[in-house]
């Protein structure tokens, strides 16, 4: 009881809800704002008054020798009263297999378990919340539905797995929520849901309950056509676009909806002869100036342009017009925003504790800990999420070189060598091999594209031949040579033809894609 009142109980379901002792069933409830409470016995159609145990919000009632179906009636001191099914009367949704696979880094659909999901249990509609926070002293879900009070809905730590969950009956779509985490040092953190499918429009940072089911896709013909092709032996012409600046709408904030963008962008892309659209990152991010490269919501299409189903429509319309959609994907780093992944449960959970391994000093961002199975699972499941739920045709993986090299962007003393004294990041290498092998196993018509700016060998070689397993690699060398050639006065270019031909020396060492991208524009190349 003291742990409940002190908001430190790691398994509140063990105390709250209906329990049996010596053949007698009783119900405990904790409602800090309640003046009085009753049990509404739906099995026997009667009301049972609950006893206020200590004045701190804990109520109890004996209900008889048999279990019952019930609701709780809460009366607050203001006189406001309401009824609800008991959130602490439901069995865990997270099962032993989920915990086992997640711990091994192989639960590729963990996004269907963690996060917030609308569901019906025993005929009752509600939302199941689940989050991984193994080092927390206590985790609660907060939102408008509880006055943002972390005492109301503490989650249970399922079998001490570090996964906390609760099913809250009566909640519906578009509920705003966060996770309130009490650290071992008794600090209170308010975090957005790492697995949220939707988020508030910036600068607000709450996650939003949404339903991904129900969209009727019309791209079967496109998918059948794509499945019959060898994508690496087909000509492709990719148009890279930043949705926030390609075209503005009138007024503030100036963003067009995914649906409106689709109608205008598709026409332009077809007219110009492009086969694919590559979207600069559209996962939720707080800062417009990052162009989406500092992600806080990896599973949430940014609300700047509409809802997840609006984005489904965008992809669907592209496919109906025989245009593939590639996403710019950012598994290399994440920002330090307090509501995001950094220091998530009061410890370095997604990142490394040592800043020499866990931070990019030049970018001011955090580096994922690829040596932790659950972190790898988070990222690999995220790749599956975009492909399975949004029918994405490929991922352009950002900043691959920064993941492969421990000293990337760092000076002497700012990095830690690997166990053999080198600068290669063995954990990142294993991550890429795992990522690409399992994605291509399930989706052989996928395009996995590496933005790798060094001469790392075998980037686009299959993993069974010792490579990283990507399908394509950006040819940054060709890009620099080509732009340097064009920078010369035409009368002088005859002396610099080597810049045009040098890339042929290594052209067949990788499956290269020739690129002129946003980086060249922003850096004035």
Strand-pair partners of 121? 124
Please check whether residue 334 is in contact with residue 296, taking contact to mean a CB–CB distance below 8 angstroms.
yes
- Rounded to the nearest 10°, the torsion over CA 256, 259, 260, 266 is 120
Verify that 318 and 224 share a domain, yes or no: yes
Verify that 113 and 261 share a domain, yes or no: no
Label residue 214 exposed, middle or buried (CB < 10 Å: 0-12, 13-18, 19+).
exposed
The radius of gyration computed from the CA coordinates of the chain, to the nearest angstrom, equals 26
Please say if the pLDDT value at position 499 is more than 70.
yes
Which region, left, alpha or beta, applies to residue 292 given φ > 0 means left and ψ of -120 to 50 means alpha?
Answer: left
Verify that 363 and 469 share a domain, yes or no: yes
Handedness of CA 19, 21, 24, 29 (dihedral sign): negative
Please check whether residue 394 is in contact with residue 470, taking contact to mean a CB–CB distance below 8 angstroms.
no
Q: Which domain does 394 fall in, by range?
A: 220-475+510-522
In CATH, what number is assigned to the domain containing residue 434?
A: 3.20.20.80
pLDDT tens figures, 68-88: 999 999 999 888 999 999 999
Verify that 445 and 469 share a domain, yes or no: yes
Query: What is the crossing angle of helices 308-320 and 258-272, to 10°?
Result: 20
The span from the CA of 438 to the CA of 415, in Å, is: 30
Active site residue 442: no
Domain end position, chosen among 85, 109, 139: 85
Verify that 300 and 235 share a domain, yes or no: yes
Domain end position, chosen among 208, 228, 247: 208
Verify that 153 and 224 share a domain, yes or no: no
Assess if residue 113 is contained within a domain: yes
Nearest to 350 by CA among 313, 375, 382, 376: 375
pLDDT tens figures, 149-184: 999 999 999 999 999 999 999 999 999 999 999 999
Verify that 77 and 161 share a domain, yes or no: no
Host H or E run for residue 35: strand 34-41
Domain count for the chain, please give it. Answer: 3
The span from the CA of 41 to the CA of 523, in Å, is: 69
Mean pLDDT of 32-46: 93
* Confidence band of 118 (pLDDT split at 50, 70, 90): very high
Mean pLDDT of 445-461: 95
Percent with pLDDT over 90 in the chain: 88
Verify that 301 and 326 share a domain, yes or no: yes
Please say if the pLDDT value at position 275 is more than 90.
yes
Assess if residue 494 is contained within a domain: no
Q: Of 398, 427, 481, 510, which is the active-site residue?
A: 398
What is the pLDDT at residue 518? 84
Please check whether residue 381 is in contact with residue 194, taking contact to mean a CB–CB distance below 8 angstroms.
no
* Confidence band of 8 (pLDDT split at 50, 70, 90): confident
Q: Of 38, 180, 278, 451, which is the active-site residue?
A: 451
The span from the CA of 468 to the CA of 450, in Å, is: 10
Assess if residue 482 is contained within a domain: no
What is the pLDDT at residue 474? 94
What is the pLDDT at residue 126? 98
Say how many residues make up the chain: 525
Cα-based distances in Å from 433 to 189, 392, 448: 35, 20, 12
The span from the CA of 215 to the CA of 72, in Å, is: 35
Phi and psi at 348, nearest 5°, equal -75, 85
Domain end position, chosen among 33, 50, 85: 85
Verify that 341 and 449 share a domain, yes or no: yes
Verify that 101 and 234 share a domain, yes or no: no
Mean pLDDT of 134-154: 96
What is the pLDDT at residue 523? 63
The span from the CA of 324 to the CA of 237, in Å, is: 10
Please say if the pLDDT value at position 10 is more than 70.
yes
pLDDT tens figures, 321-370: 999 999 999 999 999 999 999 999 999 999 999 999 999 998 999 999 99
Assess if residue 5 is contained within a domain: no
Cα-based distances in Å from 130 to 69, 127, 254: 24, 10, 35
pLDDT tens figures, 237-254: 999 999 999 998 887 787
Assess if residue 55 is contained within a domain: yes
What is the pLDDT at residue 290? 80
Please say if the pLDDT value at position 228 is more than 70.
yes
In CATH, what number is assigned to the domain containing residue 34?
A: 2.60.40.10
The span from the CA of 301 to the CA of 385, in Å, is: 11
Verify that 33 and 167 share a domain, yes or no: no
Assess if residue 504 is contained within a domain: no
Strand-pair partners of 167? 128
DSSP string, 294-318: S-SEEEEE-GGG--HHHHHHHHHHH
Assess if residue 493 is contained within a domain: no
Q: Please, which residues have CB within 8 angstroms of residue 69's CB and are 6 or more apart in sequence?
A: 41, 42, 43
* DSSP label of 424: B
Host H or E run for residue 497: none
Active site residue 91: no
Assess if residue 249 is contained within a domain: yes
Which region, left, alpha or beta, applies to residue 29 given φ > 0 means left and ψ of -120 to 50 means alpha?
Answer: beta
Verify that 374 and 429 share a domain, yes or no: yes
């Amino acid at each position: 009881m003291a742990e409940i009142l002190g908001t430190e109980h790691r398994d509140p379901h063990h105390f709250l809800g209906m329990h049996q002792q010596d053949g007698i069933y009783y119900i405990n409830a904790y409602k800090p704002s309640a003046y009085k409470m009753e049990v509404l016995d739906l099995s026997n159609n009667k009301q049972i008054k609950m006893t206020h145990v200590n004045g701190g919000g804990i109520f109890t009632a004996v209900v008889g020798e048999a279990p019952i179906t019930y609701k709780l009636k809460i009366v607050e001191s203001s006189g406001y009263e309401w009824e609800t099914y008991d959130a602490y009367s439901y069995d865990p949704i997270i099962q032993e297999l989920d915990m086992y696979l997640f711990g091994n880094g192989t639960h590729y659909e963990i996004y269907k378990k963690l996060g917030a999901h609308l569901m019906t249990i025993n005929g009752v509609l509600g939302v199941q919340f689940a989050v991984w926070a193994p080092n927390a002293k206590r985790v609660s879900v907060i939102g408008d539905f509880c006055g943002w009070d972390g005492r109301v809905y503490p989650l249970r730590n399922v079998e001490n797995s570090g996964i906390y969950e609760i099913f809250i009956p009566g909640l519906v779509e578009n509920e705003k929520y966060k996770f309130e985490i009490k650290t071992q040092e008794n600090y209170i953190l308010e975090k957005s849901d790492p697995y949220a499918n939707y988020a508030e429009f910036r600068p607000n940072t709450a996650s939003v309950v949404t339903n991904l089911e129900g969209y009727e896709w019309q791209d079967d013909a496109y998918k059948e056509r794509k499945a019959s092709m060898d994508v690496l032996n087909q000509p492709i012409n990719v148009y890279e676009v930043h949705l926030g600046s390609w075209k503005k709408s009138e007024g503030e904030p100036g963003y067009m909806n995914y649906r409106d963008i689709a109608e205008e962008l598709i026409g332009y892309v077809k007219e110009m002869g492009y086969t694919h659209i590559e979207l600069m990152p559209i996962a939720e991010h707080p800062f417009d100036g990052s162009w989406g490269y500092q992600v806080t919501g990896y599973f949430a299409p940014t609300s700047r342009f509409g809802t997840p189903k609006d984005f489904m429509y965008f992809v669907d319309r592209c496919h109906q017009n025989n245009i593939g959609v590639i996403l710019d994907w950012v598994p290399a780093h994440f920002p330090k925003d307090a509501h995001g992944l950094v220091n998530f449960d009061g410890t370095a959970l997604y990142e490394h504790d040592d800043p020499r391994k866990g931070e990019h000093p030049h970018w001011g961002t955090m580096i994922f800990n690829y040596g932790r199975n659950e972190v790898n699972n988070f990222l690999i499941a995220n790749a599956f999420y975009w492909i399975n739920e949004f029918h994405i045709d490929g991922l352009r993986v950002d900043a691959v070189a920064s993941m492969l090299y421990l000293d990337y962007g760092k000076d002497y003393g700012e990095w830690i060598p690997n166990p053999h004294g080198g600068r290669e990041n063995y954990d990142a290498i294993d991550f890429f091999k795992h990522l690409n092998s399992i994605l291509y196993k399930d989706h052989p018509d996928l395009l996995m594209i590496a933005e790798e700016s060094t001469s790392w060998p075998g980037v686009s070689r299959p993993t069974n031949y010792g490579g990283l397993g990507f399908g394509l690699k950006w040819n940054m060398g060709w890009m620099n040579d080509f732009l340097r050639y064009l920078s010369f006065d035409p009368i002088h270019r005859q002396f610099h033809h080597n810049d045009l031909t040098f890339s042929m020396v290594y052209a067949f060492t990788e499956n290269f894609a020739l690129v002129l991208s946003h980086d060249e524009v922003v850096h004035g190349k």
